[in-house]
Amino acid sequence: MLKTMEVKMDYIIGIDAGTSNVKAVLFNLDGAEVLVESLENEPIYIGDNLVEQNMNTLWEKVVLCLQKLLKNGPATADEIKGIGVTGQGEGCWLIDAAGEPVQNALLWCDGRASDEVAKVTEEHPELGELIYQTTGTPALTGTQLMLLKWMKNNRQDILDRASTSFFCKDWVRYKLTGKIHGDLTDTGTSLVNAKTGEVAEALLKKLDLEAYISYIPELVTSDTIVGMVSPEIADTLGLNSHTPVIAGAIDVIAAAVGIGAVEDKNICVILGTTCANEIFKKKEDCHFGEPGTRYEKHAVGDLYVNLLATMNGTPNIDWALENIATTKDFKEIDRLINEVPAGCGGVLFHPYISAAGERAPFYNPFAKANFFGIGAGTTRATLLRAVYEGVTMSIKDCLQDADRDSKIFIAGGGAKSSVWAQMISDVTGMEVVVSSGNEFGAKGAAMMLGVATGIYDNYEDAAKKSCKFERSYKPIAEHVKVYDALYELYKEIRISNEKLWYKRADLLKQLNPKSL
């Protein structure tokens, strides 16, 4: 009798520690998702604009996801070629010399540093300009630079107990390997001189943060193998202790790699908690500090990303489903909004629902969502479509620098909706291509591991072998005409609201200081 021979397969694990969910994903070398294990994350919302996260709780969820992945999946420990890590970006994740958190992480969507931002943009605009010109990113509430400044001003005793300032995926990677590193995509959001690729020491000194320069870890590229899974964690997870782990990247960059956007002039939009709108450019084509831009380092070579990431994307949809819709069945939602004419008869929605206002393509920490143009004939379906259109208008708002002849790669949970994909094409006037798969952040991290270990020759080879596209949408001319006209009104209203949002914030502060 012939014995059945076991066929050995190779796999890569991608970890994505997002704001809403923690995921561990098993990929084969063709980029297919073999198994996904996910747990809901637990951001801590305090008042109207403070958002934190328990760092140990997040790590515990990562461990549980990895344990389930190894227990339920087909891969043996010997078949795991390595681990790639990504996670929510920005924010401030502080640990002490013993490797323990000194407080909850302050998240990217936290708005507590609004006074610090105001001081460097309004009271001392030369400092705001220095930040923008140096880092390529303007002073924003959720950046680590501004949160460190807030900590210095408000919690210096806690800040002084720390020894390292991480980003989310750095914390996860540290717990996996025991090694302390940073990568250029995350740290480059606010702490690196974009022109030199080195820590912006002169800027930190100017902001009276010189004492904390040493908190910034050694910086490496995203695809650098920084260590192996520690023996203790390997035993806990069921992995080999020689399993390599790469530095990884901020989620929006990892997702871009996972989509296949790894070349100059690519455009991608990630429809997630934030709508991350990304236009890729070579370094020599970037103009750091130019109004309407926010440049961050891509994982690939000398590429940079003009990243205009809104504070909230799909949470606007979640709010509408919870408070307007009578169903949460997305197929039924698609049917309902598809029956409403493009433009909703002039009903507009501005999607600034975040606790921290908006940051792209404009900055206002007190921006709030609103409907405009509601009449007696406005229906629930009209309001639902208006919310989808409003989020899409904000995407168009962020892509004003893009060439309409380009294609937009889209991904994220929202990309599952064919109605929304067509709407994005109609509103932007550009062809939209939907990538196959779901877990693009984890996939991008896995692809980086593949490049680092020689599984793929380079990122172009990784994209060719791992990334596939399932459908595309071209703009419908009559819809484009409607949206082009309404966009002008949409933009005029949001510009007019700028002063009113600040006035509202001042009034609320007088009436109830705890409401902000």
Residue 363 maps to a domain: no
Cβ atoms of residues 344 and 322 within 8 Å: no
Q: Which residues contact 96 (CB under 8 A, 6 or more apart)?
A: 102, 161, 162, 163
Query: How buried is 326 (Cβ within 10 angstroms: 0-12 exposed, 13-18 middle, 19+ buried)?
Result: exposed
- Reported as a single tens digit per residue, the pLDDT across 278-334 is 999 899 999 999 888 899 999 999 899 999 989 899 999 999 999 999 999 999 999
- Please tell me the predicted confidence (pLDDT) of residue 335: 97
Cβ atoms of residues 53 and 110 within 8 Å: no
- Please tell me the predicted confidence (pLDDT) of residue 1: 43
- Reported as a single tens digit per residue, the pLDDT across 107-116 is 999 999 999 9
Residue 358 maps to a domain: no
Q: Is the pLDDT of residue 3 over 80?
A: no
- Which one, of 498, 109, 92, lies nearest residue 311 by Cα? 109
For 499, the 3-state DSSP assignment is: helix
- Please tell me the predicted confidence (pLDDT) of residue 9: 87
Average pLDDT estimate for 461-466:
95
pTM of structure? 0.84
- Reported as a single tens digit per residue, the pLDDT across 86-138 is 999 999 999 999 999 999 999 999 999 999 999 999 999 999 999 999 999 99
Residue 387 maps to a domain: no
CATH number at residue 95: 3.30.420.40
- Reported as a single tens digit per residue, the pLDDT across 60-80 is 999 999 999 999 989 999 999
Is beta strand 348-350 parallel, antiparallel or unpaired with respect to 303-309?
unpaired
For 1, the 3-state DSSP assignment is: coil
Q: Is the pLDDT of residue 470 over 90?
A: no
- Reported as a single tens digit per residue, the pLDDT across 475-487 is 999 999 999 999 9
Cβ atoms of residues 261 and 307 within 8 Å: no
- Reported as a single tens digit per residue, the pLDDT across 424-433 is 999 999 999 9
Residue 293 maps to a domain: no
Rounded CA-CA distance 108/105 in Å is 9
426: tokens are 């109609």
Q: Is the pLDDT of residue 419 over 90?
A: yes
Q: Roughly how many angstroms between the first and final C-alpha of the chain, as a whole number?
A: 75
67: tokens are 């344990």
- Please tell me the predicted confidence (pLDDT) of residue 7: 58
Q: Is the pLDDT of residue 513 over 80?
A: no
Residue 98 maps to a domain: yes
- Report the percentage of the chain scoring pLDDT > 90: 86
Rounded CA-CA distance 497/515 in Å is 20
Residue 368 maps to a domain: no
Cβ atoms of residues 359 and 293 within 8 Å: no
Q: Is the pLDDT of residue 2 over 60?
A: no
Q: Is the pLDDT of residue 379 over 70?
A: yes
206: tokens are 């100017």
Residue 357 maps to a domain: no
Q: Which residues contact 300 (CB under 8 A, 6 or more apart)?
A: 257, 262, 459
Rounded CA-CA distance 84/107 in Å is 22
Number of domains observed in the structure of the chain? 1
Q: Is the pLDDT of residue 46 over 60?
A: yes
> Looking at per-residue confidence, does 217 or 264 come out higher?
217
CB atoms under 10 Å from CB of 111, counted, come to 22
For 475, the 3-state DSSP assignment is: coil
Q: Is the pLDDT of residue 84 over 60?
A: yes
264: tokens are 């100059």
User: How many Cα atoms occupy the beta-carbon half-sphere of 196 within 13 Å?
Assistant: 10
- Please tell me the predicted confidence (pLDDT) of residue 333: 97
Q: Is the pLDDT of residue 389 over 90?
A: yes
- Reported as a single tens digit per residue, the pLDDT across 334-343 is 999 999 999 9
Rounded to 5°, the CA angle 497-500-501 comes to 85
Average pLDDT estimate for 411-415:
85
- The single-letter DSSP state of residue 341 is P
- Please tell me the predicted confidence (pLDDT) of residue 356: 84
Average pLDDT estimate for 129-151:
96
Average pLDDT estimate for 39-53:
91
What average pLDDT does the structure give for the chain?
A: 94
For 54, the 3-state DSSP assignment is: coil
Average pLDDT estimate for 495-506:
96
Q: Is the pLDDT of residue 255 over 60?
A: yes
Query: Cα separations (Å) of 199 from 94, 210, 391, 403, 418?
Result: 18, 12, 35, 33, 43
189 pLDDT band, cuts 50/70/90, is very high
- Please tell me the predicted confidence (pLDDT) of residue 272: 85
Query: Cα separations (Å) of 125 from 85, 131, 262, 325, 339?
Result: 37, 10, 35, 44, 48
Identify the domain containing residue 201 by its residue range. Answer: 11-247
| DSSP sequence for 262-278 | -STT-EEEEESSSEEEE
Residue 75 maps to a domain: yes
